[in-house]
Structure 1
């Protein structure tokens, strides 16, 4: 089982409680859960090349991504 970590200062989008969200990664999927109301959210990580959040100019400025060996 993956180690779950609380996200300091985060507010749950469902119940608006602060410091109740915990995060963990499971099978290459990021998961967030509120321990107060049970709200959950999942997201698959994206690489820099596929990210829709980066503009084409920003992508050209990225030299590489550091991925330390486990």
Structure 2
């Protein structure tokens, strides 16, 4: 199965500093970013995901259509 990849407009690679070379894709439900110029890869680890998730006290309501 082929992964759907998309470029991140205006993003700069932290490794080679090239502009507009980062692509975003999901692999096993984990978001990953890869530079097509130098091959630098990043992924979001579980601890970062937990920090980014809103705390229950911050949520006013959840919309379920």
Q: What TM-score do the two structures reach when normalised by structure 1? A: 0.69
- State whether residues 31 and 41 of structure 1, in contact with CA within 8 Å, keep that contact through their aligned partners in structure 2: yes
Structure that is richer in helix per residue: 2
Name the CA distance, whole Å, in 2 between partners of 1:32 and 1:2: 12
Counterpart in the other structure of 1:15: 16
Q: Which runs of 4+ in 1 moved over 4 A?
A: 64-68
Point out where structure 2 has 5 or more consecutive residues left out of the alignment.
none
1:19-58 alignment runs, 5 A limit? 19-44=20-45, 46=49, 51-53=50-52
43 and 67 in structure 1: CA distance in 2 versus 1, 3 angstrom threshold: farther
Match of 2:60 among 52, 59, 63: 63
Across the aligned residues of Structure 1 and Structure 2, the Cα RMSD in angstroms comes to 2.6
Point out where structure 1 has 5 or more consecutive residues left out of the alignment.
none
